[in-house]
Structure 1
Amino acid sequence: MQMSGNDLGDIPGLTVGQAACSTAETGVTVIVADSPAIAAVDIRGGGPGTRETDALGLSRLVGQVDAIVLAGGSVYGLAAADRVCTLMGKEGRGVGLTGRDDIPKSPIVPAAILWDLDRGDKRWGAEPPYRDLAEAAYRSRSTSINLGAVGAGKGAMAGAHKGGVGSASAAIAGGRVAALIAVNSFGSPYVPGTPHFWAAPFEQGAEFGGRGVGPHTGIADFPPDTAMAAMAGARRNTTIGVVATDIPLTRAQAARLAIMAQTGMARALRPVHAPTDGDILFVLSTGKGPAPDTEAAQLRLLTLGTAAADVVARAIARGVYAAEHMG
């Protein structure tokens, strides 16, 4: 069952802002929680670019976040989180350990970046655009989410095809789950030689074209080694995103959900989690109230994780499909 918006905006307590630079073909997507959200991260790619992901470990002090930033620009894009931190700190958001008004709080804003340095004009001199893009994204956030070559997906590629930002959601017993993904993958979202998405079995309605299921012929669908080497040389890799739910979770449950949700990337992209990819998935729980670690809660997590993998796969195909049709 789809939610009304079929995107991350269906999760109460979250807003999304996006901004992009057409000249540089790059951008920033900011996901902001109205109040600190339980968070986790799962990193599968061989070449990740991150900020503050270590803070989300189960043995760490802080298990909640104020926002998540996704950006293009490789290492330069990590600066986007600096501006989001500054803006949220000015609003009084973040962790405060002293109780003193003259010491600013520390917003927790993990970030992940994708590689788009070979797209557009990146001759930005001493000041890359990511701080300004982050501020524009932060100030424009809402529950209405544009898909395609927008935000962090502005300069994205999905294999040899256009990539972009995609989102999808679903209702399950007790709540909702949604994903927002910036698709800049090494692998292809399409069955080779066809217009059919690998994610086709999970499509709801005609949310990414209704093209149906193509001929899946297994390992023979991989391009030859020479083509794979050329693709790797292009370095157009990394699929990053956020899965969110309004079901209350413990930190350990959120970590397990992140692992289960990563399966959605494997359902929608082939190959995936390659040595040059930086594939990363964050999980956010905005749910309030107890998150019991009971047998019933484990069964609910099983259902939630399965649905999360489905919405990740659907979000990937929706992002690529939207980018296809943006011209």
Structure 2
Amino acid sequence: MKPGPKNLITDVPGLKVGNAEDRDALTGTTVLIPDEPAVAAADVRGGGPGTREIDVMDPANLVENIHAICLSGGSAFGLEAAGGVMSRLASAGRGFPIGGFHVPIVPSAILFDLMNGGDKDWGEDPPYRALGKQAADNAAVEFELGNAGAGLGATAGSLKGGLGSASIVLDDGTTVGALVAANPTGSVVMPDGRTFWAWPFEQGEEFGGNPPPTTRADGKADVATALPGANTTIAIVATDATLSKGQAKRVATMAHDGLARAIRPVHTPFDGDTVFALSTARRPVPDPSGLSQIGSAAADCLARAIARAVWLADDIAGMRSYRGSI
């Protein structure tokens, strides 16, 4: 197995990603748009989540497909970004058909970046609806990582967080990818301050080619200064295998292990950790063994994407980046 040609979630055929930022406010939005309506599911594990349209993806519910997934900064204000994405898709005639209308289904999740030093004095007009429209307009197979989109104002423990992505091609040709806005309460590096927790999963030197760690985990969890709901890692994993909503839910559940491989501690009361899983249905339906391989690969991709998010982030507004600190 090896990464896809771009080492991005858009190595999964049929996907595009767009970013938009408000650099004065130090916040942004990222949207993933499939070329065709897609099966998706979500799994929420954090204690302080902020989400929209999660229940619609439940296998027991009517709507079979979604039209985009939105990740945004801004805490609950950022949920408005999905409205901007909806407007762009509806104007293009995309959405769930009902009564002569098309209603785009855009599940979303947000992270907390309100206290990062940016100018959030936006009064009654938060920028997120406009950012959602701009991110949809910018959707392409190539996109920026690090201080981009929903990762612009993110932090990762004591380091600058960011937007990350990674992919893998399985032996049977199935592609799996991950996209993440990494803003965790926990640390992404081991006690030596240099080695990523995700180091065993690195492909090539995609996040610096760190050597094996020189110290052991000490079991400490430094979250004393955290505020409830004041962080969150939000992510999307995707595959070109054909999945049902129930199978996508299983992949989202398995993919959460990638957060545990890359962040310590994770799924805390202070985080809103949420993972979406999406299928573009370009390849056959997997058997249970194949589904297990897809879920395992999604977890590995997500761990790598988190480390890449932090590796590629730059110093900004007093937030210290990984590369700026070693």
Same fold (TM over 0.5): yes
Measured in 2, the distance between the counterparts of 1:154 and 1:326 equals 16
Contact 1:148 1:166 in 2 (8 A): yes
Please give the per-residue CA displacement for 1:159-204, whole angstroms capped at 9, x wherever unaligned: 0100000000000124100000000001110002321100000000
Counterpart secondary structure, 1:321: helix
Indicate which of 219, 241, 246 corresponds to 1:247: 241
Match runs of 1:271-310 below 5 Å: 271-288=265-282, 291=285, 297-310=287-300
Letter matched to residue 92 of structure 1: G
- Normalized per residue, the structure richer in helix is 1
Measured in 1, the distance between the counterparts of 2:237 and 2:193 equals 29
Measured in 1, the distance between the counterparts of 2:284 and 2:193 equals 47
Match runs of 1:1-327 below 5 Å: 1-98=2-99, 100=100, 104-119=101-116, 120-172=118-170, 173-215=172-214, 217-218=216-217, 220-223=218-221, 227-230=222-225, 232-233=226-227, 236-288=230-282, 291=285, 297-323=287-313, 324=321
2:316 alignment counterpart: none
Measured in 2, the distance between the counterparts of 1:29 and 1:248 equals 24
Counterpart secondary structure, 1:105: strand
Letter matched to residue 4 of structure 1: P
Q: Unpaired runs of 5+ in structure 1?
A: none
Q: What's the C-alpha RMSD, in Å, of the aligned pairs?
A: 1.5
Identity of aligned residues (%): 48
Q: Unpaired runs of 5+ in structure 2?
A: 314-320
Deviation at 1:290, TM superposition (A): 5.6
Question: Structure 1 residues 29 and 326 mapped into 2: Cα distance closer, same or farther (>3 Å)?
Answer: farther
> Which range moves more in the overlay, 39-48 or 281-290?
281-290
2:318 alignment counterpart: none
Contact 1:159 1:236 in 2 (8 A): no
Measured in 2, the distance between the counterparts of 1:64 and 1:235 equals 29
Using structure 2 for the length normalisation, give the TM-score: 0.93
Measured in 2, the distance between the counterparts of 1:240 and 1:25 equals 18
Counterpart secondary structure, 1:149: coil
Deviation at 1:229, TM superposition (A): 1.4
Measured in 1, the distance between the counterparts of 2:322 and 2:145 equals 10
Letter matched to residue 317 of structure 1: A
2:317 alignment counterpart: none
Measured in 1, the distance between the counterparts of 2:60 and 2:17 equals 29
Counterpart secondary structure, 2:95: coil
